[in-house]
Amino acid sequence: MSALTNKPDTPSIPVISFADYSALALPQRRHTATQLVNACTKYGFAYITDHGVPATTIQRAFDLSAQFFASPVASKMKAPHPPGWAVHRGYSWPGLEKVSNATSSNGDGGATEGNGDGNEEIAAQIAALREITDVKESFDIGSDGNAEQPNQWPPEELYPGFRGFMTQFYEEMNRAAMQVLRALALGLLSDDDAGEEGELDEDAFAKLHSGAYNQLRLLHYPPIPIDEVSEYGKTKTRMPSHTDWSTITLLFQDSVGGLEVEVPEGGGKYMAVPPLPSDPYAMVMNVGDLMVRWSNDRLKSTEHRVGLPPVIKAVDGSNGSNGAEGMTKARYSIPYFLTTDPDLKKAA
């Protein structure tokens, strides 16, 4: 795995405040929107602060996530991820999902096999990546309004409050996301795009998302023994490098760090995107492949991965490694993937 270009505690992508965004007058909204578009043009990534999701809500999401993953496997398996790749809901146990399995050369979410048209090399690379186990477990949640992807809720008696909270959290994240989509549209529009009355279609992207097709994902990267760290990147990884395929992703991460993003110059060099010391509840926002198309290639969908866990000896259990000495820290993150309605995806 290649080295990082910055120290893990040095913030590296722009930090943009969305304080009162929708209440601001157009020139101030435009200022924020331009900052966001500039960040997404250069890095494909930005930190967003003052996004409107309360810190207490985010903390509750992390608490419920940690409780879920700490519960017995038999309980977690009461809401298993259905077999196959069509439905992305419920509990995926460590090793079930390999991000490399969802990698393709044509961005359609399906793995590309060699077919005699020069893709053999890519297929061979993907096959090699498939030998690597992703050291993570996850729980995927969608809208109860999406009949094609039915939620797999765990039993209320085993996880009291989980369903109710996550349902509301999904909506809260959707509201924050709509604001980000409005800003992206405004930042990309110029005065030439104005209507007869001078109005700008700030809802151009937001209106393509009904909110029923997003995906809220609870992620847990379990601690790993220090003596397995040398295997890291060979037989084990947290999440290999990939781009997100949909429109935008909003992510909360805990204090551990590990998210790495390819530098604007590319060339396989990555920079750390750690939690902000000044605002641990800031979101990391990134652009997905579909948004690149919709912005006529102005915005960038950037490769990112989850890197080597910090090697810290746990002696008191405070780092999530259950007190076992010689384990790395556990890490939790919560991505929220914005997805358009299925008909639009086909048309895009």
Ligand X SMILES: O=C(O)CCC(=O)C(=O)O
| CB of 32 or CB of 149, closer to ligand X | 149
- Select from 149, 214, 333, 339 the one that contacts ligand X (CB under 6 A): 333
- Select from 61, 141, 271, 306 the one that contacts ligand X (CB under 6 A): 306
Minimum separation from the CB atom of position 158 to ligand X (A): 25
The yes or no reply on residue 260 touching Fe ion (CB under 5 A) is no
Minimum separation from the CB atom of position 339 to ligand X (A): 13
Sheet of 283-287: strand order equals 15-17, 45-49, 283-287, 248-253, 331-337, 215-221, 137-141, 90-92
259 binds, among ligand X, Fe ion, none (CB under 5 to 8 A by kind): ligand X
In degrees, to the nearest 5, what angle opens at C-alpha 318 toward C-alphas 313 and 324? 50
Non-local CB neighbours of 51 within 8 Å, separated by 6+ positions: 18, 176, 179, 180, 250, 282, 283
The yes or no reply on residue 219 touching ligand X (CB under 6 A) is yes
Q: Do the beta carbons of residue 247 and residue 292 sit within 8 Å? A: no
Minimum separation from the CB atom of position 100 to ligand X (A): 13
Minimum separation from the CB atom of position 103 to ligand X (A): 12
Non-local CB neighbours of 100 within 8 Å, separated by 6+ positions: 126, 129, 130, 132, 240, 242
User: 222: closest CA among 250, 256, 252?
Assistant: 256
The Cα 234–Cα 188 span in angstroms is: 41
177 binds, among ligand X, Fe ion, none (CB under 5 to 8 A by kind): none
Structure tokens at 97: 């999902």
186 binds, among Fe ion, ligand X, none (CB under 5 to 8 A by kind): none
Total Cβ atoms within 10 A of residue 60: 16
328 binds, among ligand X, Fe ion, none (CB under 5 to 8 A by kind): none
Minimum separation from the CB atom of position 77 to Fe ion (A): 25
Site stretch for ligand X (CB under 6 A), options 79-87, 182-190, 204-212, 251-259: 251-259
Residues facing 139 on adjacent strands: 91, 218
The yes or no reply on residue 239 touching ligand X (CB under 6 A) is yes
The yes or no reply on residue 304 touching ligand X (CB under 6 A) is yes
| CB of 33 or CB of 330, closer to ligand X | 330
Minimum separation from the CB atom of position 30 to ligand X (A): 30
Minimum separation from the CB atom of position 188 to ligand X (A): 23
Question: Residue with CB nearest Fe ion?
Answer: 244
Helix, strand, or coil (residue 29):
helix
The yes or no reply on residue 202 touching Fe ion (CB under 5 A) is no
Residue written as tokens 């399995």? 101
Q: H helices within 48-154, ranges in order? A: 55-70, 73-76, 120-130
Helix, strand, or coil (residue 26):
helix
Total residues at the site for ligand X (CB under 6 A)? 10
| CB of 246 or CB of 319, closer to ligand X | 246
The yes or no reply on residue 244 touching Fe ion (CB under 5 A) is yes
R_g over Cα of the chain = 20
Where on the chain is the footprint of Fe ion (CB under 5 A)?
Answer: 244
Where does this chain bind ligand X (CB under 6 A)? 219, 239, 244, 251, 253, 259, 304, 306, 333, 335
